[in-house]
Structure 1
């Protein structure tokens, strides 16, 4: 699951992206962002869509890597660099879990870097906590370490009104 867990509210572009994303049209959704990918927030959102496509389809790794490099290049502050690092961690996690290439160390390192860069109250922090829980549960085979990460992610998702992330945190908390 990628960042950008909202339905777009009043923004027509974000609503169109949400509709495409919910139908599994990640490439089309990312294409809507391509002309604006020179800003960090848009570059990270585009990367998140392409990483999500990799996770759900097992395809598009090179395009996701390219988008990630752009997001990392345009990041200017700690929050932007942290968000890009979080996407790097998710891409490495997906690659490892799907058996494309073992990048478990890269996933842990990138998510650790994101944790150092993102402020505790950052809107990106709950997604980071969720992803750290995924790594603990599925790569480190440590569900006991995943539970607190999922709890932090759930509390943060509630605080920020991220309904999509809440749906994932509920499912993972119930399974442990």
Structure 2
């Protein structure tokens, strides 16, 4: 399997039953259980995939940092070629980015360094490049406040995800490109991107990512559609036990004027 397990779905034909089980757990926010299934597999691929699940849990829940760090160190230790080392570096960059953007600890420099290392290790045609480009876009947008650089990185990631047939990553690139369009007042472009992101997540059954997609689309829609979408996002958010944690503020209605 490719080292970019974080962006894979485990739903394509030919994927082994373990990968299907991992995807079903991950898609419902059961990252710890999904990672535990992978403990039965040895090698660099399994170590990176396990780490990617635990890193994703950190971003969605704001918890589990020590376990993700331990898993990451293991993935780095067993990496046996540049592809594996690049994938592990990409996960280190994402873990450091998540810590920074959630206000846990400022690791912005570590995030940039790790993704730079990943870029040096991953070949131009590697299946891991699109995910790396997307994560570099996140840093440009949310840590460097550079929407133009972020857009360029997201577009590279979008093209790469299309070429590598990665619909889950496409759901992320559509959403983030749409977010930039919305901030620039391009409503039609924003609606299209948010709609595509939501469609892909619903088709894939990525339940844990569906509430954020609904809330994002609501930001680009007029009433009463916006309220309907936020209500559906809130229902899913509660169903999943308040995950992703950072979505709570976006779903809270504004306080009435005094």
TM-score range, shorter chain: over 0.9
Give, in whole Å, the separation in 1 of the partners of 2:175 and 2:62: 22
Give, in whole Å, the separation in 1 of the partners of 2:61 and 2:154: 24
- SS of residue in 2 equivalent to 1:35: coil
**Structure 2 unaligned spans of 5+:** 181-258
For 1:17, the equivalent position in structure 2 comes to 22
Query: Which structure has the greater CA radius of gyration?
Result: 2
Cα deviation, 1:57-111, whole Å, max 9, x if unaligned, reads 0110000000000000000111110000000000000000011100000000000
Give, in whole Å, the separation in 2 of the partners of 1:5 and 1:94: 20
Give, in whole Å, the separation in 2 of the partners of 1:8 and 1:50: 20
Counting matched residue pairs gives 174
The answer as to whether partners of 1:4 and 1:45 remain within 8 angstroms in 2 is no
- SS of residue in 2 equivalent to 1:3: helix
- SS of residue in 1 equivalent to 2:125: coil
For 1:82, the equivalent position in structure 2 comes to 86
The answer as to whether partners of 1:47 and 1:64 remain within 8 angstroms in 2 is yes
Report the alpha carbon displacement of residue 175 of structure 1 after superposing the two structures with TM: 1.5
For 1:117, the equivalent position in structure 2 comes to 121
Give, in whole Å, the separation in 2 of the partners of 1:6 and 1:122: 18
- SS of residue in 1 equivalent to 2:10: coil
RMSD: 1.0
**Structure 1 unaligned spans of 5+:** none
- Give TM-score scaled by structure 1 length: 0.96
The answer as to whether partners of 2:7 and 2:131 remain within 8 angstroms in 1 is no
